Structure 1
């Protein structure tokens, strides 16, 4: 494939919609210039071109193997992690004091878009390492920072997050891995963790596991969970070398349908009663600490759905432009040559759907990352930063779920464009369809996030977060109303925003009666409704910027085409996707509870 993403679209989002150059006016980002942001993306493209694209197919066909207790992965993974470490990109967004470069997270996310579209499985190694190191820097002791995190940010060591257990999937309150206090202040760790991405491999000298465990005698439930650093190898007696086996056993490797280059491990801690862990922060606060990494990872998963869908879109587009088949529907002359399938309306519909999902999802995610940067710029505890934090907390679950779910659908449309060829290994869509499927499951299933959005997100702080978000949407509606071409779409969005508010109030009235089953029964549909509405807003924001450029600038033909395509795709989203809200609202206000009552009626037999 020649292309997996659009650099022009990334530049449009960063420079024109979000105006990231404005971030350099804040002291936190003052060492940057806009040209330096371009250099970051150029470096990402260089790594993608030299390492990632070349290994995409081969790392899928030659998946990791567990041999004599050691996992062996594709050798290009090591090249990738080293290149990222050498470029300072693993910890690029960290504070200077933690070995970082204070790069805006929105620019880093654009870098990930480039790398992930080239090879989505490899990106997980550095993403997990960065998240683990950042957690240690945020809550760990100076000793833990020096011993472990400092060597992770360079890529010398990698990291993993160990939450899930065989008996406790999303229900972390049921974690039973136990930490037994030792006289020297360390803990012996005993338990098992499953589905640990990059939990074992042969590309680094050490793997630093962040493990949720319950200190012996701690309270039941989430209040009794602590967080521990558990390295694969711990330091020897004099602390000069990390060469002591820490009794972290690779019990098994899961053979996945996709993202095969990233091993998913079953790890056993303390099988020989010799796995030592080091407490991070205070006891019994582990889950609150871990939420930092989980929320970072959730945005990353949303980005994963987006960049895989992006690669699939450009593969579909390339095929559609080269594949002759049939003639235009109004042409009955069989003597004329066949037309390329991109000229068929239904193929255009599928391509437009992919483009709308990819560019809409990317814009939603970059909006969230920009809020994160504004929090850094204004000061995390400042009053000015609070609105951004509230909106980010609300939208993280949406920005994970919408791109993941819609990314799956977008890739499937890509398969449909290729027809039978898409189902073969001769074209990349087959692999992308397998890779993208995990995104709606990673870091909490769609069902879990939907429960969180409706059951907690919209009600927290008396609904302050959705109020702030809706105010932002209204600002865009008011601006769009100043353009004749956009005014009908501003009106459509305002109508759907009102519909969303009405549905929300209806559901909250059910919650007020104490019937949580009825309140949350269709939370998934509410998530879909919320996601469509907010992405419609994001598309209107893009259309406003595009329309302003068309009116105020003297443009070359290619630039005129780019901006017009933005407005056209926005219109497609409104006419094909936003209208789905009517059916969703109808169901969400229907009090016939078929799913709640089905089990006692004996439906499932």
Structure 2
């Protein structure tokens, strides 16, 4: 089996950097230990190796089809869903009470990373677990008993049904309606577009978590309610009946072709039933739970695809001979050298490795915060929650935006071959391009970061994060070799503080457009500093091992590689913050629409 992720890196992050076993001291996770974590990782790897990775390119070439109102997908999708359901891996992080394994998010994130690295065209289970979690959190006992077990077993599919043709990301403009019925249900009418896994034959039912307006609801997002709307409704007799949810089209996508993106029409015959989740007009607040989970999941997807691309280009670079090393150009009788020995190729591979492993570290940092926010109490609980809120848009954005660049560099390593279907890089490049768009574009994530998360609580979340980063720098100073990198991180912390301080006055004056004008650049700056923090964390752990118990062989190479990649990130990527900070503090305004500034 070809390599598409590094289990050794996962173990390093789980146990050496983030100390996953420390979570088992809390009652909520006390049923677990390193052995149960390893069993889950082994189980998901077996499914990924046998039912997903071997079909990566085949699923792309045999995309879903809509015929006579029915959507067919690759037959291995059903096998994959059943296998994950039977292994208890779709809801592995759910409580025992709700049919899960009560695994920490820290471990669950690794499971998702392995699956998306194996075959991101089979993106079904994350939506299902998100839908089931919403029903568990806010649905009635009847809704829970009707839907959750089937969803977690991989027999039914869950979706997020938000987007409409006229609304896009502007959820305040949705027009789907819900009319109350005497039996307590609602009659649903409307359209939804771009619904991932919105219909397919690998399951027996599709369950939409759908946003709509009840008649007379307030305008804007305050008037949105959340409903369970199945493709087939369950009758008291136990039979499934058509619920007037019609698939009218499949979007033909650039990538991730194994998962259908559907255009759905609801209530065309006036017989679409929906069940209210929670209270009326609070649907968007409920849906944000699923959306925040989905943001992290998309970040994991970006990191997973980038991982598969890295290992594909690394393997090629080790095997592909071309020319001689630059200092041996005139030795024409010498054999050609593998391209991995050329400095520019090594630079591209180092960039890929730095993005993949830096992204995974950031995602696991976020997952650990989610675990601690769940089990901690008092002020500590609130602090963990604030840090998670702040890092969520970054954990979605850095792995996806930089992941696109990373896969592009991987394709470049292969040269002309990378652009052909003979190698998987061209598909990976197509597949990853959607991730900066999914679940809120980069621009939306950036406005969330700067416009909402940085100022919230009087800036407390940002101050907590800067303190965490400073503590890592101080810890790194105990190793002489890392002092220059501790200095660099502390300088970047101050740069981020200065830039933030220069932007906040615009918000205080009510000039929101000027405040958020370059929010995407702020996100890029923020992401570089945060991932530099993550790399210094990894570097400190690796340096500690090298200093105190020098390993040998592959283990020595592993730890030295961590330190080397950390150095690459600080010397090649971190300096980009200087240009970003220069632009962000520049008073010249060029992108705000005005009569004097016309685009031709």
Shorter-chain TM-score bucket reads over 0.9
The answer to whether the aligner puts 1:285 opposite 2:285 as a matched pair is no
Let me know the Cα RMSD of the aligned residues.
0.9
* Deviations 1:311-345, CA, capped at 9 Å, x for gaps: 00000000000001111111121111111100000
**Residue 126 of structure 2 corresponds to which residue in structure 1?**
127
Residue 513 of structure 1: how far off its partner (Å): 1.9
Instruction: Give me the whole-angstrom Cα distance separating, in 1, the residues matched to 2:501 and 2:580.
Output: 15
The answer to whether the aligner puts 1:451 opposite 2:447 as a matched pair is yes
**Residue 513 of structure 2 corresponds to which residue in structure 1?**
517
TM-score, normalised by the number of residues in structure 1: 0.98
Residue 558 of structure 1: how far off its partner (Å): 1.4
The answer to whether the aligner puts 1:157 opposite 2:153 as a matched pair is no
**Residue 98 of structure 1 corresponds to which residue in structure 2?**
98
**Residue 432 of structure 1 corresponds to which residue in structure 2?**
428
**Residue 252 of structure 1 corresponds to which residue in structure 2?**
249
**Residue 491 of structure 1 corresponds to which residue in structure 2?**
487
**Residue 340 of structure 1 corresponds to which residue in structure 2?**
338
* Deviations 1:244-296, CA, capped at 9 Å, x for gaps: 11000001110001000000000010000000000000000000000000000
The answer to whether the aligner puts 1:502 opposite 2:498 as a matched pair is yes
Instruction: Give me the whole-angstrom Cα distance separating, in 1, the residues matched to 2:462 and 2:448.
Output: 14
Which is worse superposed, 239-248 or 438-447? 239-248
Instruction: Give me the whole-angstrom Cα distance separating, in 1, the residues matched to 2:184 and 2:362.
Output: 45
**Residue 16 of structure 2 corresponds to which residue in structure 1?**
16
Residue aligned with 2:189, SS = strand
The answer to whether the aligner puts 1:601 opposite 2:600 as a matched pair is no
Instruction: Give me the whole-angstrom Cα distance separating, in 1, the residues matched to 2:469 and 2:542.
Output: 17
**Residue 232 of structure 2 corresponds to which residue in structure 1?**
233
Instruction: Give me the whole-angstrom Cα distance separating, in 2, the residues matched to 1:489 and 1:417.
Output: 29
Instruction: Give me the whole-angstrom Cα distance separating, in 2, the residues matched to 1:67 and 1:371.
Output: 45
5 Å-filtered alignment, 1:165-176, equals 165-176=164-175
**Residue 116 of structure 2 corresponds to which residue in structure 1?**
116
Residue aligned with 2:218, SS = coil
5 Å-filtered alignment, 1:460-479, equals 460-479=456-475
**Residue 528 of structure 2 corresponds to which residue in structure 1?**
532
- From 533, 544, 548, the equivalent of 1:548 is 544
**Residue 303 of structure 2 corresponds to which residue in structure 1?**
306
**Residue 240 of structure 2 corresponds to which residue in structure 1?**
243
Instruction: Give me the whole-angstrom Cα distance separating, in 2, the residues matched to 1:88 and 1:138.
Output: 19
Instruction: Give me the whole-angstrom Cα distance separating, in 1, the residues matched to 2:44 and 2:95.
Output: 20
Residue 383 of structure 1: how far off its partner (Å): 3.1
Residue 303 of structure 1: how far off its partner (Å): 0.5
**Residue 207 of structure 1 corresponds to which residue in structure 2?**
206
Residue aligned with 2:213, SS = strand
Residue aligned with 1:596, SS = coil
* Deviations 1:459-511, CA, capped at 9 Å, x for gaps: 00100101111110011010111111100010011011101000000000122
**Residue 360 of structure 1 corresponds to which residue in structure 2?**
358
Instruction: Give me the whole-angstrom Cα distance separating, in 2, the residues matched to 1:53 and 1:584.
Output: 39
**Residue 574 of structure 1 corresponds to which residue in structure 2?**
570
Instruction: Give me the whole-angstrom Cα distance separating, in 2, the residues matched to 1:520 and 1:313.
Output: 34
Residue 54 of structure 1: how far off its partner (Å): 1.5
Residue 96 of structure 1: how far off its partner (Å): 1.1
Instruction: Give me the whole-angstrom Cα distance separating, in 2, the residues matched to 1:522 and 1:300.
Output: 26
Residue aligned with 1:327, SS = coil
Instruction: Give me the whole-angstrom Cα distance separating, in 2, the residues matched to 1:42 and 1:364.
Output: 23
* Deviations 1:511-536, CA, capped at 9 Å, x for gaps: 22221111111000000000000000
Which is worse superposed, 148-157 or 182-191? 148-157
Residue 602 of structure 1: how far off its partner (Å): 4.9
Residues 480 and 540 in structure 1, CA contact (< 8 A), matched pair in contact too? yes
5 Å-filtered alignment, 1:38-53, equals 38-53=38-53
5 Å-filtered alignment, 1:316-335, equals 316-331=313-328, 332-335=330-333
Residue 376 of structure 1: how far off its partner (Å): 2.1
Residue aligned with 1:159, SS = strand
The answer to whether the aligner puts 1:412 opposite 2:412 as a matched pair is no
TM-score, normalised by the number of residues in structure 2: 0.99
Instruction: Give me the whole-angstrom Cα distance separating, in 2, the residues matched to 1:242 and 1:386.
Output: 46
Which is worse superposed, 384-393 or 75-84? 384-393
Residue 242 of structure 1: how far off its partner (Å): 3.7
* Deviations 1:145-203, CA, capped at 9 Å, x for gaps: 00111221111211111000001111101111000011111100000000000000001
Residues 47 and 80 in structure 1, CA contact (< 8 A), matched pair in contact too? yes
Residues 233 and 245 in structure 1, CA contact (< 8 A), matched pair in contact too? yes
* Deviations 1:111-163, CA, capped at 9 Å, x for gaps: 111111110121x2111100000000000000000011122111121111100
Instruction: Give me the whole-angstrom Cα distance separating, in 2, the residues matched to 1:21 and 1:174.
Output: 46
Instruction: Give me the whole-angstrom Cα distance separating, in 1, the residues matched to 2:91 and 2:512.
Output: 42
* Deviations 1:354-400, CA, capped at 9 Å, x for gaps: 00000000000000001111122225xx4321111000011100000
Residues 215 and 226 in structure 1, CA contact (< 8 A), matched pair in contact too? yes
Instruction: Give me the whole-angstrom Cα distance separating, in 2, the residues matched to 1:554 and 1:541.
Output: 19
* Deviations 1:6-38, CA, capped at 9 Å, x for gaps: 110000000100010111111000011111101
Residues 233 and 242 in structure 1, CA contact (< 8 A), matched pair in contact too? no
Residue 601 of structure 1: how far off its partner (Å): 2.8
Residue 603 of structure 1: how far off its partner (Å): 3.1
Instruction: Give me the whole-angstrom Cα distance separating, in 2, the residues matched to 1:475 and 1:453.
Output: 23
The answer to whether the aligner puts 1:399 opposite 2:395 as a matched pair is yes
Residue aligned with 1:214, SS = strand
